[in-house]
Amino acid sequence: MKQQLEAIRSSASAELAGISSPQELESFRVKILGKKGELTSILKQMGGLSAEERPIIGQLANEVRAFIEQEISERAQSIKEKETEQRLLSEKLDVTIPGNKRPLGSKHPLTAVLDEVKEIFVGMGFDIVEGPEVEYDYYNFEALNLPKDHPARDTQDTFYITDNILLRTQTSPVQVRTMEQQKPPIRIISPGRVYRSDAVDATHSPLFHQIEGLVVDKGITMADLKGTLEIFVKRLYGEDSQVRFRPHHFPFTEPSAETDIMCFACGGKGCRLCKGEGWIEILGCGMVHPKVLSGCGIDPEVYSGFAFGLGLERIVMRRYNIDDLRLFYENDLRFLGQF
Ligand code: DAH
């Protein structure tokens, strides 16, 4: 019996060393010290011992029990410490690690430059108005002095809804809509989408954007047109940019002009960007045709006005040196993220 007790004592330490969870520890305790445990079953046999042996074995049994209890409680303690240590390790928080940044969107380059353009004109006292993209033939062509058989219509082929309703090819119809509703003085710009049935390439798109401008009042002259557009160009492209006006023809203005800015890549000498011209066309303009004024109920003997229309994509391409129009519409974040 003595040997059995010693054996229990000596194997207990080794077994305990391999125990790493509270559950295992509890089943070990039951196995040795429980009601049907190894130590208990030995003690149950003590009745068969002689009177001399009994106290000796009894004392040894108590020692072994105390020893094992002590060992178990030490093991429990160390398991608990290990667990705490592990938990702290897994919950460790490094407050110096940079946070997760949410990617922040930015304005589309077309929107960013349009906002600048609006600000410049609002600063000069212009209102911003809108017009429909699905438009009557009358407003898009007829009222702008482009009757049904006018050859200039050929350059603005578009998408027809019916014979008389189409996707507008220009923002100029907003001039007519404005003059029908509002009497002079008028000072507006009208940005928006326009459509033409052009095939897509680096400089063409069936959808693009224009910004229309219209000023009507008593005594408005070509000098007002030139002064206003010169200020606009200098605000947008810098004070040292140069502007020139070239005679042109538009059916709804007389006289008409196209406005160029001096190429900022070569300073007017001629390069690849300006195709050797030294100048880059940015808008069309002119004095509102008397026929257009009177068609809107404004007396051309009393009032005069100027108008202009610029292509938004063009000025944004010039502004950021973008060489392909398609980039604006493809939603490629590698492109858009640069602005
Ligand atoms: N609407 C013309 C176009 O799309 C541009 C234009 C030219 C607008 C002269 C005007 C203007 O207001 O006066 O080609």
φ and ψ at 280, to 5 degrees? -125, 125
Return the closest-CA partner of residue 144 out of 128, 156, 159, 130: 156
Give, for ligand 1, the residue of 170, 188, 248, 315 to mutate: max count of ligand atoms closer than 8 Å to Cβ.
170
The sign of the CA dihedral 196, 198, 203, 207 is: positive
Give, for ligand 1, the residue of 139, 146, 156, 252 to mutate: max count of ligand atoms closer than 8 Å to Cβ.
252
pTM recorded for the entire structure: 0.72
The sign of the CA dihedral 138, 140, 143, 147 is: negative
Rounded distance from Cα 157 to ligand 1 centre (Å): 15
Rounded distance from Cα 139 to ligand 1 centre (Å): 14
Query: Which residue has a Cα nearest atom 3 of ligand 1?
Result: 170
Long-range contacts of the stretch 327-331 (C-beta < 8 A, 24+): 328/108, 328/109, 328/110, 328/205, 329/205, 329/207
For the CA of 169, the nearest atom of ligand 1: 4
Q: Where are the beta strands (DSSP E) in 125-184?
A: 127-128, 134-136, 165-167
Domain ranges of the chain: 2-90, 109-336
Return the closest-CA partner of residue 163 out of 142, 189, 187, 188: 142
Residuewise pLDDT in 10s, the chain (339 residues): 878 778 888 887 788 788 888 888 888 888 888 888 887 887 788 778 888 888 888 888 888 888 888 888 888 888 888 888 888 888 888 889 898 888 888 999 999 999 999 999 999 999 999 999 999 999 999 999 999 998 888 888 899 999 999 999 999 999 999 999 999 999 999 999 999 999 999 888 999 999 999 999 999 999 999 999 999 999 999 999 999 999 999 999 999 999 999 987 788 898 887 889 999 899 999 999 999 999 999 999 999 999 999 999 999 998 888 989 999 999 999 999 998
Query: 327: how many CB neighbours lie within 10 A of its CB?
Result: 17
* Whether 156 contacts 162, CB under 8 Å: no
Residue 315, both tokens: 């000025």
Angle at 248 between CA 211 and CA 264, to 5 degrees: 65
The set of protein residues with a Cβ atom below 6 angstroms from ligand 1 is: 170, 172, 212, 250, 253, 284-286, 307-309
Classify domain 109-336 by CATH architecture.
2-Layer Sandwich (3.30)
